[in-house]
Amino acid sequence: MKKQKRSFFLAWAVLFLTAGSSLAKISVPFEGQFDFLKKKYSFGFPLGEKGNISTQWTQSSQDKFDVSINIDHLQHSLLDLTTDLFGSVKIINKDKDNLSLSGNVWSQNSLLNLKPSGEVSGSFEVKDKKLFFNSISLGTITCQGYVDLSFPFKLNVTLTLTQLDLENFLETFLEKDDIDAAGTVSGKIQLTGEIGYVSLKGQLHSEGGKIDQWEYSSMDLNVEGAYPFIYLSDSQIAQLDGTVFTIEGPLNLADRQNFSKQFERLTKSPLVNVDGSQKEWTFKRVKAEEESSTTELKYLLRENKTPGSEKEGTDMFGLEQTIEF
């Protein structure tokens, strides 16, 4: 049965990465009520076809507030987000020029594109005009870092993925959600820059995965770029039969309709080992199911790198086959 649970992180990631400089000039209608006797304050932000956001603040003590935020079908880009956010906030310093507070946050009843999502929980701080994520958990993703609270909202955030469902991860980049995938993804992604102009750098690892009819034993990806354009380098994929390929090339994360085609167009080359003047390509490594033997098929290329030599081409091209028991 196809998994229905989505990572709550995916919604916030797209909102975070695609919000541009318009944040500095955005104008949103709102309505509010203030009950000074009960110390309750509520605000509503009707966004029409884009959804609704409502929030309520209740002062439980002189320096503490309980907060609830209802997000009802907030639509942005390719997302439809519904969730109830709750939190408690303690004011440490009320000086408007040096506001300082700390708090906790958690969510309930979260839906991403009308399907159940993982929930968010963790703690945060506001100090030095920055919002610090001390330890925010978004399902199997942990978020740490900070975001400036003034335009252009500079940020430095590290996302740690711990066995994130591969199918959910891939659906972030695919227009259709009918992909058949199994396995998990782990690693780290660092986001730097400013909201709307974010650079990312990550190292991702997956083992024993399956994407449609293609199965692999391991995958190691190194990515870097400015969202939505990233570049894969020093990455490799090992298939079940032992074949190891390096993979390299550009990807446009925003082009969800053609993401599969982009991946197919990446440069894939048999693994090359370089040792001095010798290069070694391992094209295939096969282990027989009924035996304990391993067969390797390798191509060797040696180059003349004698100082002062005019010839720097091929000295030898050979074929080597080894059988181990």
- Cβ-proximal residues to 83 (8 Å cutoff; 6+ apart), any chain: 8, 71, 107, 108, 109, 110, 111, 117
Q: For 277, left (φ over 0), alpha (ψ -120 to 50), or beta?
A: alpha
- Cβ-proximal residues to 15 (8 Å cutoff; 6+ apart), any chain: 76, 77, 79, 81
Domain boundaries, the chain: 8-275, 276-325
**φ, ψ dihedrals at 306, nearest 5°:** -65, 125
Instruction: Let me know how long the chain is.
Output: 325
Structure-derived torsion over alpha carbons of residues 172, 119, 85, 125, reported in degrees to the nearest 10: -90
Q: What is the pLDDT of residue 49?
A: 81
- Confirm if 123 and 103 have CB atoms less than 8 A apart: yes
Q: Is 36 helix (H, G, I), strand (E, B) or coil?
A: coil
Comparison of pLDDT for 59 and 283, the residue scoring more: 59
Q: Which residues pair with 204 in a beta bridge?
A: 187, 221
Q: How many distinct helices (H) and strands (E) make up the chain?
A: 3, 21
Q: What is the pLDDT of residue 2?
A: 41
Q: What is the mean pLDDT of residues 232-257?
A: 86
Give the least confident one: 100-104, 303-307, 316-320. Answer: 316-320
**φ, ψ dihedrals at 322, nearest 5°:** -125, 145
pLDDT tens digits, 14-62: 555 555 444 444 555 667 888 888 888 888 888 888 888 899 999 988 8
Residue whose token pair is 């925003």:
254
pLDDT tens digits, 135-185: 888 778 888 999 998 888 899 999 999 998 888 788 777 766 567 788 999
Q: What is the pLDDT of residue 101?
A: 92
Q: Which two three-digit tokens encode residue 253?
A: 């994360």
Highest-confidence segment of 181-185, 195-199, 267-271: 181-185
Residue-averaged pLDDT of the chain: 77
Give the least confident one: 101-105, 231-235, 299-303, 319-323. Answer: 319-323
- Confirm if 233 and 248 have CB atoms less than 8 A apart: yes
Give this prediction's pTM: 0.71
- Confirm if 120 and 136 have CB atoms less than 8 A apart: yes
Q: In this structure, which amino acid lies at residue 298?
A: K
